[in-house]
Chain A
Amino acid sequence: MTTSPAPAAPNLRALQPGELARALAGKGLWIDLGAATVRVRSDSAVFAAQLGTVYGELPLADQGVWADTHIDIRRATGLRRWVRPQVVLWCDGQQPFEPFPADSPLPLFEWGCNWQIAHRLNDLLLLHAGAVERDGLALLLPAMPGSGKSTLTAALSQRGWRLLSDEFGAFDPQAGVFRAMLKPIALKNQSIEVIRAFAPQARFGPEFPKTRKGRVAHLAATADAVRRRHEPARPGAIVLPKWEAGSATRWEPLAEHVAFPALAFNAFNYTVLGEAGFRAAVHLMRVCPAWQLVYSDLDDALATIAATWPAVVQRHAEALR
């Protein structure tokens, strides 16, 4: 459950400079991602500026009763305040990760936040998958290394598909629906230019040239995705993307014995959920048609998905009847 912000609260993007920094330095900021709320505090003005760029569409919530995880981003003390300065992540009175350079608090926050979510929310089956919604149905893009999952998720989110999450296919087994875990999409290396060219209107945070995962920039969720982050989505379809330089688009039905491990064994907490996780994954396999998509051209890949979608919608409508 999440704290609902007052309807009149301004978006973070509309705040005066310094206002966000003041909230972060005070009681903190409650960031409602849909399926979870993060309370974040910080004494770093650099962080406040970076945070505002990628969570800009979120309403300001500078007090709250409940958060599912609490993260403080603090400037390091002592020598590390001045010499190659660092920022440190604190959570519940502990410092679980190594510090980051002081100019990169946003990647530290994003990474730490994802780690906390992946380890704490075992009420949900957390698939490692991009998830977008259309017609009330979720399209899942399970991740394989180098699959281009984030690129495809980002592209879909800029062309009429509502972003649920780039990282977490958050399935609520009790309700049988996916929930949004609406964090900015972390794009790496050449994907950044690909999406900038594909969607010039897209809002990006600053670029971080030298993180552990290479060059990273974060794509902000659209205003519509933020506004609708509490709308669930029923399981729709599974698409296993595979980016191959120069390849023509290939769209092939995926056998269950390939789709199931891609979905389940990739999940963050499939084993922790035990029987509940197995049942949920089997259910998803039963109700969702699955395809493999090999692509190099984004427009063509999106057109291919769009061409198949009406059949997916119809299949689910018939199942409901």
Chain B
Amino acid sequence: MNTRPPPSPSAAPPAWAAWLTALREPEVVLRWSLGDWQRIVRLGRRLRLLARLAARLQADGLLDQVPAPAQRHLVSELRLSGWRTTVMVRALERVAEQLQGADHPLVLLKGGAYIGQGLPIAAGRLPSDIDILVPQAALAGALSRLQAAGWVGAELDAHDQHYYEAWSHEVPPMHHPVHAVELDLHHNILPPVARTHVDAGLLLARLQPSSWPVWQVLHPVDQVLHSAAHLFLDSDLTDRVRDLVDLDGLMRHFGRPCADPAFWAELPRRARELGLAEPLALASHFTTRWLGTPIPLAVQAVIAMQGPSKARRAWLLPLLAAALTPTEPDAMPSRRQDLAALALLARYHRQRLPLRWLVPHLWHKMQTRNRVTHHGRDDGR
């Protein structure tokens, strides 16, 4: 067994991340110069965190104290967020009507679930897709009901169709002529052939109600683990700081003193049970250091203990940190970040697919991309 470092009280966040403090202590913005605001408006918008900041400032009555040039952009993003949320909620209500009466659970994941529970992190979101989880046996039925209601999948070639059917945990993203939002229908939270295989039955066994009668949500602990798994096993990490902000918000909310006292002890236990100890350890590492997430020290210790080995941490953490650190608005992505992104992309594909499938898949993607590029050049100016 490797030795694990003792968890230390959260150190100061890296300099670039200092502004994120404003998401929980909004009065710090009163000290920002117009130059500070310029950088944060640009960076925050790209990271899809500007409306979150705006929502927090509005809730605390501080929006009027923001310098006018920046304030207009906060107002603008708040309106965008309000509209995107309205579109999402309307679509969710329609989909609920289309799927209700089914003899299986209907589960909202991620953004929809946060809105459905009225979580603090639902404020100022820019939702762009609905994520729904149903039992695998019910997938085909749910799909045909959605199609009958006007949801259509993207046109896929035979290769992509086969990829989704054989290897994916979701059906191809669906669109609707009325609803300006994408719908992703899942039967699991990670691909079934991924190295980290999650038993969806365990998730479905402890669902919770949401504020919509038709929709249920994952258990709070499972919501944290899903968010961590999605970020660290199933995503390109570029500009994904908002996922860390989500994780921070979920843990602060579900782990607050007046909430379920079993939450913190349950978190590492459940991570082990679902096979998600590593993504939880990574989430704990970055949220405590960058966002000061108040994970109790004893819990941090257990999470780190069951997480990646010292040798693995030594190469993985710097890569993840480089990929998660956003490029400054006026800079080009550094060589170091490019390399980190490339290395993590290799890891990502390796985790999702067995090699005997991965190599032909990437070959196909490369050829498709070449065709697209040629088209783009010939048609467009």
Contacts and interface: CB of A to CB of B under 8 A. Distances in A.
Nearest to B380: A98
Contacts of B68: 1
Contact of B80 (A94, A210, A272, A276): A272
B45 A122 contact: no
A273 B77 CA distance: 10
Contacts of B76: 120-123
Contacts of B82: 274
A92 interface: yes
Contacts, number: 70
A212 B329 contact: no
B381 A212 contact: yes
A92 B329 contact: yes
B360 interface: no
Nearest to A72: B330
A68 B73 contact: yes
A67 B35 CA distance: 10
Nearest to B329: A92
Contact of A70 (B42, B80, B376): B42
B381 A93 contact: no
Interface centre among A65, A90, A101, A271 (most CB of B within 10 A): A65
Contact of B72 (A90, A123, A210, A272): A123
Interface residues of B, number: 31
Most chain A beta-carbon neighbours within 10 Å: one of B80, B330, B333? B330
A101 B377 CA distance: 10
Interface string B69-82: 11011011101101
B330 A66 contact: no
Contacts of B333: 93
A93 B330 contact: yes
Contact of B331 (A93, A123, A271): A93
Q: Which of A94, A120, A122 has the most CB of B within 10 A?
A: A122
A70 B329 contact: yes
A123 B75 contact: yes
Contacts of B58: none
A92 B46 contact: yes
A254 to B, nearest CB: 29
A67 B83 contact: no
Interface string A123-157: 10000000000000000000000000000000000
Contact of B69 (A1, A70, A93): A1
A211 interface: yes
B327 interface: yes
A104 interface: yes
Given A92-B42, A94-B46, A101 B381 contact: yes
Which of B34, B72, B80 is the most central at the interface, judged by chain A CB atoms within 10 Å of its CB?
B72
Contacts of A276: 79
A47 interface: no
B158 interface: no
B329 to A, nearest CB: 4
Contacts of B376: 98
B203 to A, nearest CB: 35
Nearest to B78: A122
B43 interface: yes
A94 B332 CA distance: 8
Contacts of A120: 45, 73, 76
Contacts of A92: 42-43, 45-46, 329
Contacts of A211: 381
A58 B321 CA distance: 44
Contact of B83 (A94, A104, A212, A272): A272
A66 B72 contact: no
A70 B311 CA distance: 42
B160 interface: no
B161 interface: no
A272 B79 contact: yes
Interface string B26-66: 00000000110010001101100000000000000000000
A274 B333 CA distance: 36
Q: Which 8 residue pairs are nearest across A and B when measured between Cβ atoms? A: A122-B76, A1-B69, A123-B72, A93-B327, A122-B79, A92-B329, A66-B69, A272-B83
16 contacts: A1-B68, A67-B38, A93-B326, A93-B327, A93-B328, A93-B329, A120-B45, A122-B76, A122-B77, A122-B79, A123-B75, A210-B381, A272-B79, A272-B83, A273-B79, A274-B82
Interface of B: 34-35, 38, 42-43, 45-46, 68-70, 72-73, 75-77, 79-80, 82-83, 86, 326-333, 376, 380-381
Interface of A: 1-2, 65-68, 70, 90, 92-94, 98, 100-101, 104, 107, 120-123, 210-212, 271-274, 276
Given A92-B46, A272-B80, 13 more contacts: A1-B69, A1-B72, A65-B34, A70-B330, A92-B43, A93-B326, A93-B328, A121-B76, A123-B72, A210-B381, A274-B82, A274-B86, A276-B79
